[in-house]
Amino acid sequence: MTYTLYYWDGIPGRGEFVRLALEEAGADYVDAARAPGGTREMLRLMKNAGSPAAPFAPPFLVEGRLVISHVANILFYLGPKLGLAPENEELRYVANGMQLTVTDFVAEIHDTHHPIGVSLYYEEQKPEALRRSADFLSERLPKFLGYFERVLGHNPMGDAHIVGDRLSYVDLSLFQVIEGLRYAFPRAMRSLEANIPALVALHDAVSARPRIRSYLVSDRRLPFNESCVFRHYPELDR
Amino acid sequence: MTYTLYYWDGIPGRGEFVRLALEEAGADYVDAARAPGGTREMLRLMKNAGSPAAPFAPPFLVEGRLVISHVANILFYLGPKLGLAPENEELRYVANGMQLTVTDFVAEIHDTHHPIGVSLYYEEQKPEALRRSADFLSERLPKFLGYFERVLGHNPMGDAHIVGDRLSYVDLSLFQVIEGLRYAFPRAMRSLEANIPALVALHDAVSARPRIRSYLVSDRRLPFNESCVFRHYPELDR
């Protein structure tokens, strides 16, 4: 069965967390944003008067009649099918909890450049963005990264994976968060990374996986840019 | 099996979405915040060096060895056990997607009074809160409420429930969001409610359910207050 992933065109954004899982699994999927008419179809599905499952926002995944919205929900659904979730059912809820902490982290990263409203440009909320970013870099960034480092260190199956004893979609998402943070806040990350050796090792192990490595150099991998969740505005960095 | 719900003491907050499901089902649960030593135990679990599932933040649910974090994750787990999830498995992912949209909505409601950082008091970010609230009331509040109203109207099983043909935990959460919004933004809600008749009817139907009705007048139901997600600051209202 082919999966179709719907997301905004031209940015990795939140869609990338799903793409990484599909790519690692070698799944058969269509990236609607890069297909003719895909964005139009996405907007049609979001307004679909006939569907009880019209999503509030992308990304969402379509498989046959099924429409699944929100990154964590998509990954909870796909994980077992793609071999990227723990075998143990209880650990699947632990993985989902971790992924939802990633979701919260990503929302806070987004809000560093959009603290007032998504309908305004960055330039219209720059004084507030400066203040929010300062708080984010001093309080929230070390707190979130320290949390994941601690969870990795306490995994009874070893610190190579965040949950269980094999690669899961949460590991892939943590790789992407580190990539995005290095792009957005290079100075802050340089000074923080010494404190998160297990997370950095996890990041490196993911990027060395054969399918991920070839995905990252393909034209399917979109570069970060200033329309994305992860934006590099030097004035917001440490 | 007894469930234990861990959450901050003294506020309904995000814990209330779980409490409502447990109360509607008549489940056997302990509300740790109201039990002797409960808050100390919560903080211990969050710092638990021995646990691979230590949560980033409350609420979380403990059942035996299992620790489940995040409201949507807890409800996805509890829903089928409490008879508060759709029978159909595909619809359970639709319900989870809806609940995650509720999660995003609640985070935006929280950020109206905390747009800069959770480590600062409201009074330390009041100019930014005024600006963010104005944007929230003009853009986001009508967008989220309009979305849920539309989804209700398009439910092929009828507009009494947001997903499927029977009460789910998402219906309970929508009740709580309406309650919280009426407390936080009474003027804005008065002018908006005419546009969301199906949501208001859903709210009223939930509040009339026997177990919910007796819960709401019990001392287990905490009143909204200005330490909660939903805060009433008249200057932030329309």
Range(s) of the domain holding residue A110:
89-221
Phi-psi region of A7 (alpha: psi -120 to 50; beta: other; left: phi over 0): beta
Q: What pLDDT score was predicted for residue B49?
A: 59
Please report, as a single letter, which amino acid is at residue B155.
N
Total structural domains within chain A: 2
CB-CB under 8 Å, A111 with B132: no
b/e B125-156 (16+ beta carbons within 10 angstroms → b): bbebbebbbebbbeebbbbbbebbbbbbeebe
Tens digit of pLDDT for each residue in A57-72? 999 999 998 999 999 9
**CATH number of the domain that A68 lies in?**
3.40.30.10
Beta-strand runs (E) in chain B: 3-6, 29-31, 60-63, 66-69
Give the nearest partner residue to A73 out of B54, B97, B151, using CB atoms.
B97
- For residue B36, the model assigns a pLDDT of 93
Q: What is the mean pLDDT of residues A1-8?
A: 92
Q: How many residues does chain B have?
A: 238
Q: In angstroms, rounded to a whole number, what is the distance separating the alpha carbons of residues B40 and A68?
A: 38
B59: preceding bond cis by omega (within 30 degrees): yes
State whether B99 and B201 are in the same domain.
yes
* Yes or no, beta carbons of B53 and A116 under 8 Å apart: no
Going by their DSSP bridges, the two strands A3-6 and A60-63 should be labelled as: antiparallel
Same domain, A208 and A94: yes
What is the pLDDT averaged over residues B105-131? 97
| Domain identity same for A43 and A28 | yes
Residues A168 and A186 in one domain: yes
How many whole angstroms separate alpha carbon B221 and alpha carbon B53?
29
Q: Does B64 touch chain A (CB under 8 A)?
A: no
Helix (H) or strand (E) holding B17: helix B15-24
Residue B62 forms contact with A (CB below 8 Å): no
Beta-sheet pairing, A3-6 with A29-31: parallel
Q: Is residue A234 part of a domain?
A: no
Answer yes or no: do B70 and A101 touch at CB < 8 A. Answer: yes
Number of H helices, E strands in chain B: 10, 4
The per-residue pLDDT for range B140-184, each reduced to its tens digit, is 999 999 999 999 999 999 999 999 999 999 999 999 999 999 999
Residue A227 lies in a domain: no
Cα–Cα distance, A127 to A132 (Å, whole number)? 9
Residue A168 sits in the same domain as residue A185: yes
Q: Is B151 helix (H, G, I), strand (E, B) or coil?
A: helix
B139 Cβ under 8 Å from any chain A Cβ = yes
Residue B219 lies in a domain: no
Q: Which of B79, B58, B78, B62 is nearest to B70 (CA)?
A: B58
- Considering the domain architecture, whether residues B105 and B7 belong to the same structural domain is answered as no
Cβ–Cβ < 8 Å for B24, B209: yes
Burial class from Cβ neighbours inside 10 Å (0-12, 13-18, 19+) for residue B238 reads middle
Residues B160 and B117 in one domain: yes
Which pLDDT does position B51 carry in this prediction? 72
Considering the domain architecture, whether residues B37 and B103 belong to the same structural domain is answered as: no
ipTM: 0.97
H or E, element range at B112: helix B89-113
Determine the pLDDT at residue A49. Answer: 59
* Residue ranges in chain A assigned as alpha helix (H): 15-24, 38-46, 71-82, 89-113, 126-135, 141-154, 169-184, 186-192, 197-207, 210-216
In a domain, A159, yes or no: yes
Block residue for tokens 């075998």 = A87
Hey, is B62 helix, strand or coil? strand
Contacts of B76 in chain A (CB under 8 A): 76, 93, 96
Task: Tell me the pLDDT of chain B averaged across its residues.
Answer: 96
Contact residues on chain B for A52, CB-CB shorter than 8 A: 94, 151, 154-157, 163
